[in-house]
């Protein structure tokens, strides 16, 4: 018996390294999903890419995406989070959010989603072990700590570094830049710490999740180590992510979204 359900219409906001990779995967290869619309700050830049797709989507302004899709994937600059997500959740639709750090500046979107029957989904992204933290949070988590080490190129321009006049371009040894809560880390490093905020949302919240950030000339990959102490388990996880074309983002991030999309409507679903 064939599945007669209508395909779920998907929109992508942002066509950088992440958005483009997801668009390619959605172009006819994910059952039950169809890419219907995209939005970009520079649509002309992506004209050839979109034309190369087997079923090119509509290109529309961000505030019109919700008219053409049931689900939006936010892969745009963090400052656009609200403009992308609010129209979807206000209409009982879903939004996959990659700018998790910006979500802390717009926590009322969660209340809107709850009131209107919408859903905000934060994918695993660069952080393996998130399922374990989610499970541990059903019980009691005593502490969560995350240590992030990145090459300097992946940290350049972060507000915390700019505001404090820190020179990270001539480092010869690792430099500890920050220690504090995930909430404060998200403010100081909004393009770098989406993983920390996702971790905090899965566990004990952004004010109790502690974060260390290092600029490290000895590493070539974005490295995250999480340490969790809970009543059900004590565990640590380390992941070294290969940077994408955008040095602030790991290659595994778009793959995580694709894996999440593939779970939609599958007969077997593995993972929380």
Can you say which residues are annotated as belonging to the binding site for NAD(+)? Answer: 126, 194
Catalytic residue among 66, 68, 106, 224: 224
Whole-angstrom Cα distance, residue 81 to residue 100? 9
CA-to-CA separations, 33 to 61, 215, 236, 261, in angstroms, rounded: 21, 40, 35, 8
Q: Helix or strand or coil: residue 195?
A: helix
Whole-angstrom Cα distance, residue 203 to residue 137? 5
Annotated binding site: 126, 194
Has 224 been annotated as catalytic?
yes
Q: At what angle do helices 252-262 and 17-26 cross, to 10 degrees?
A: 30
189 close to 178: Cβ distance less than 8 angstroms: yes
Tell me which residue has tokens 């007969």. 267
What is the spatial order of strands in the sheet that 222-230 belongs to?
175-181, 209-215, 141-150, 222-230, 234-241
Q: Helix or strand or coil: residue 255?
A: helix
Catalytic residue IDs: 224
């Amino acid at each position: 018996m064939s599945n007669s359900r209508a395909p779920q219409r998907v929109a992508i906001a942002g066509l950088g390294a992440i958005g483009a990779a997801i668009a390619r995967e959605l172009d006819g290869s994910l059952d039950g999903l169809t890419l219907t619309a995209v939005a970009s700050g520079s649509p002309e830049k992506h004209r050839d890419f979109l034309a190369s797709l087997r079923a090119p989507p509509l290109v529309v302004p961000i505030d019109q995406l919700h008219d053409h899709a049931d689900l939006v994937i936010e892969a745009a600059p963090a400052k656009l989070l609200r403009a992308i997500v609010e129209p979807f959740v206000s209409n009982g639709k879903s939004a996959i959010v990659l700018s998790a750090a910006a979500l802390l500046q717009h926590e009322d979107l969660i209340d809107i989603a709850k009131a209107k029957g919408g859903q905000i989904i934060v994918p695993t992204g660069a952080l393996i072990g998130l399922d374990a933290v989610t499970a541990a949070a059903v019980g009691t988590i005593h502490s969560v700590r995350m240590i992030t080490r990145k090459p300097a190129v992946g940290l350049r321009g972060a507000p915390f570094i700019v505001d404090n006049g820190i020179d990270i371009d001539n480092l010869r040894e690792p430099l500890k830049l920050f220690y504090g809560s995930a909430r404060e880390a998200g403010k100081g490093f909004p393009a770098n710490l989406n993983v920390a905020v996702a971790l905090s949302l899965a566990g004990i919240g952004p004010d109790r999740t502690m974060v260390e950030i290092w600029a490290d000339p000895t590493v070539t990959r974005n490295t995250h180590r999480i340490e969790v102490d809970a009543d059900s388990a004590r565990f640590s996880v380390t992941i070294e992510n290969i940077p994408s074309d955008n040095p602030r983002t790991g290659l595994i991030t778009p793959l995580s979204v694709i894996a999440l999309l593939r779970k939609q409507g599958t007969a077997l679903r593995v993972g929380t």
